[in-house]
């Protein structure tokens, strides 16, 4: 691991890091002159053959599809679970959790044929993300929990968080070879621990996918042949950009509720998301923009766009709506991810985050899933 700012690890990553991209090498010289450290970043794709799946072969179509199967998606573990004997029922959204005062008794789910089924079990794990997990709990209200299941604290849905995006991009007078890889291969966490009351933590991302993608342009446009080729030659090849993820502090006025006016195709209220962004996060975006501008100017790029405090948006990392803690009055789950109110119900995913930080949440979600799995196994043994 070449990241001097990373937390300590008990074991190395299962595969070696991806080498820096061509555009990373362009950034490296500018960052060295500015005293900014670059380092590799973990990716959810194989850098070498792994567990029967191919290594990345550079199709550059990572989003939405990886033809080689190198990119991880949930089917990897779904298929592994099925090989171990699990029964997976897909396209069957859970409508509510039936329960008594102390335990969940059954998950009621609907299938595409319009039928409703009731699955009883000894243990229930809810892993629906930071929006749908609180929605399911709120839909499962009862005489025991009139404000929603596992909601004796009143905090189900509260403290919704997302990461904010800051970015600066432009063009160079030379090829940058963007869009050959759809993931980051270099970041900088150098400024993460500089956070204080005024400016929060953030990380820098050196994009491998700035500017138009030839594949997306070809698939989404109306032109073909020589006309399309000429358009691609004019639009593609010299773009460059630096992004950043910025922390949002947990706020009680950011929350997920049930929409009183709109329902889904099962006549259940859809989520009603309220998201407030504080001044500290906006100042952090300004700081990230300043560093991004310095890098591109040192690189000799013409800056053509910027996402700043007035144009920022979410990174779609939904967090915080069933927060973890030791006090049942101030949290929804305990450190074992077990709900304080129901002994046989665990909530797994980013909804349990008490804070969001500024790093992608995936590895933390995976670690918490392993922790919850161990506790569920211990409980059932």
Hey, which residues are catalytic here?
A: 317
Give the residue among 178, 232, 237 at the shortest CA–CA distance from 206.
Answer: 178
How many Å apart are CA 361 and CA 318, to the nearest integer? 9
Could you give the residue ranges of the DSSP H alpha helices within the chain? 22-34, 75-83, 129-139, 214-220, 225-235, 279-299, 362-380
How many Å apart are CA 149 and CA 140, to the nearest integer? 6
How many Å apart are CA 276 and CA 142, to the nearest integer? 30
How many Å apart are CA 334 and CA 338, to the nearest integer? 6
Contact indicator for 91, 112 with CB cutoff of 8 Å: yes
DSSP letter, residue 346: E
Cα–Cα distance list, 22 to 58, 209, 293, 319, 352 (Å): 13, 12, 20, 34, 38
Angle at CA of residue 209, ends 307 and 273, nearest 5°: 50
Cα–Cα distance list, 210 to 39, 52, 191 (Å): 19, 32, 23
Contact indicator for 162, 248 with CB cutoff of 8 Å: yes
b/e code 148-177 from CB counts within 10 Å (16+ = b): bbbbbbebbbbbbbbbbbbbbbbbbeeebb
Q: Which DSSP string corresponds to 17-30?
A: PPPP-HHHHHHHHH
Lookup: tokens for 360? 């992608």
Size (the chain), residues? 381
Q: At what angle do helices 22-34 and 279-299 cross, to 10 degrees?
A: 100
């Amino acid at each position: 691991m070449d990241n001097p700012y990373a937390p300590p690890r008990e074991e190395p990553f299962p595969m070696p890091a991806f080498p820096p991209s061509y555009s990373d090498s362009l950034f490296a010289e500018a960052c060295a002159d500015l005293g900014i450290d670059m380092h590799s970043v973990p990716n959810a794709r194989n850098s070498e053959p792994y567990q029967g799946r191919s290594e990345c072969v550079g199709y550059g179509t990572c989003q939405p599809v990886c033809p080689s199967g190198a990119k991880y998606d949930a089917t990897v573990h779904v298929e592994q679970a099925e090989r171990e004997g699990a029964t997976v029922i897909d396209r069957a959204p859970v409508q509510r959790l039936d329960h008594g005062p102390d335990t969940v008794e059954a998950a009621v789910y609907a299938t595409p044929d319009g039928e409703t089924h009731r699955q009883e079990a000894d243990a229930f794990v809810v892993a629906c993300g930071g929006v749908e997990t609180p929605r399911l709990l709120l839909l499962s209200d009862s005489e025991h929990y009139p404000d929603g299941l596992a909601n004796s604290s009143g905090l189900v849905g509260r403290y919704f968080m997302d990461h904010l995006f800051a970015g600066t991009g432009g063009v160079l007078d030379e090829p940058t070879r963007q869009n050959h890889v759809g993931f980051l291969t270099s970041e900088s966490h150098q400024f993460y621990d500089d956070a204080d009351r005024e400016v929060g933590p953030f990380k820098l991302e050196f994009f491998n996918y700035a500017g138009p993608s030839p594949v997306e342009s070809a698939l989404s446009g109306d032109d073909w042949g020589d006309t399309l080729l000429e358009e691609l030659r004019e639009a593609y090849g010299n773009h460059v950009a630096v992004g950043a993820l910025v922390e949002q502090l947990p706020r009680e006025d950011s929350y997920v509720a049930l929409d009183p006016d709109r329902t889904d195709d099962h006549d259940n209220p859809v989520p009603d998301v309220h998201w407030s962004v504080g001044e500290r996060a906006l100042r952090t975006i300004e700081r990230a923009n300043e560093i991004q501008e310095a890098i591109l100017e040192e690189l000799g790029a013409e800056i053509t766009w910027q996402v700043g405090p007035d144009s920022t948006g979410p990174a779609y990392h939904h967090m915080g709506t069933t927060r973890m803690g030791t006090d049942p009055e101030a949290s929804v789950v305990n450190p074992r991810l077990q709900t304080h109110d129901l002994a046989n119900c665990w909530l797994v995913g980013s909804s349990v985050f008490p804070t969001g930080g500024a790093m992608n949440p995936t590895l933390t979600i995976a670690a918490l899933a392993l922790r919850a799995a161990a506790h569920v196994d211990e409980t059932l043994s």
